[in-house]
Structure 1
């Protein structure tokens, strides 16, 4: 076969970030807006992935439309798998990040032992292409887990959350220019483009009151999709990203062992600096989702959780919660159950609006509301447990 993947040019990274953003938005639209549900959405996209990947594998050369459509679907599928682990199976983001990193290391290890190369310029056989797409799938899952874990640790909102992956990618570009290993640099940047694209989409879609640009999810998705189609048409017509015959890139930079060792040390320093930044940010007052769903989320400071949400909405939630707490204290259990239903309905209706504004804060409140619902709706209600759960919710609401 001729090479089945594109040359790594500026166009490659532009369209990769665009695909990540559109994939994230589209999955959220089907899962949340249409009410399909996370598990069913994952099954749906797994089937779509099998069809699209089958088309990509059937081809004997790189075709931009097939390749980038596969990237979009893999992006969505990898994200959904991580979300299922976190939301449905209560696996902590720290654990899933570590597991996906280990799985990716195993994929690369087996790939190298079998093929003796990890270069994307050597994707000219079906086994190598299968390894390539498996690695891509795991990188999207890893990028999703690591990105969400970062948001949980720091409580960063739209805009600010874009800066860390963008800065790390810039550091990788600099390292590559000075001779860092090409394969390592490529896959590090590939992982980081996932949180960069997702955070960029959230920033564009979030309302101005939440420090976003206020474009909305629909407009953001349409604009990015149009940009993807335009770039794919351009690449199809110009063939600027087609790798020629053979295993080497047309303008491959000769590797220098000493520079590659220096580049590895440089990346280690960058990783330590990024880790120190995250440790510092995690210690600042912010909202943070608990890693263990059963133990419930934690709140770093009263009122901080709802900082990115419209004041009118949080006031409405506080009113309903306070009414429910008053009913519990008055011994009116049926009235409390009826009133808290209003909270559940209002919260579900506002999910599409509030969640993109601040995912970490939304997760905190969602956990608190779940705790309150369970306590009030218990088969044998315990007024003390109800009071504790409702008070914790009021604290989270400020």
Structure 2
């Protein structure tokens, strides 16, 4: 039996965030794939329901965390690593480079360590100089000390191998995946009806964006573009900010009457909105491999994405991309009929299949644990 402890995430189920979506999709599949693994997800107390100790075949445990933007992830991950050691874990799997600061400690404790690098978090606008330096140190710790580093996009792996050539043999590309055949139930459909009615939007006549209200998501670019249009579409932004944010407040102030904020919503409701939207837009300056865009493709939504490397890694047609941060280009793109941005959902599902991703991740574990 391989005892795997997963940490670095806030928690599951239904916690908003790319890492959380990744883990919630991956680990139940991996658990079902092999009776030789036992998986425990160690999240953070504010996000983990103490009554839900079992989720989709996984054991879920919450540990305390400092409620601070800069200290929450590292404090909880350190406790999670110690907990994993006490519980005689074979492998601790750390997600994201901030939590990866604990990689060396985990090695000192005798644990096998896998790190999933979800993206260059130090490129995010919300971090100050000290935080960015610590994130880079976390990346360096992962590349130097982890037994395996999983990168969620091929462009990310190329950059890391170039910067850390000594880690090339320990660094692999395994992508995020498409959820696959999600179907919203009656409750989710009713909630989507309520959300659209509350914001004056109708099926097939609104543009949708999904993500946390943080600078790297580029929602200010999208709002500026909508404000410049003579006849802007109804723009619905789904997501919130975990802590009080001057950026989120600035977005609210600059938004015109056609821009509406729906806040954080359950994934089933988000999927239903993706299914009904005229166009899904992701104007990000930074992503790992964008799960929200994969989910929108799965729902059948046309996609318009910024042309950053992580978004281009989805392999869509050139028409589906616009120059990142270019408001004029986005205005021109939004003026086109949404059908111009239709994607081949089946091709996306085949390329980013979670079942295959789970099998590849299992092989990573089995490669260095007998």
Shorter chain as normaliser: what TM range? under 0.3
Q: Per residue, is there more helix in 1 or in 2?
A: 1
Higher strand share: 2
How high is the TM-score relative to the length of structure 1?
0.24
Which structure has the larger Rg over C-alpha atoms? 1
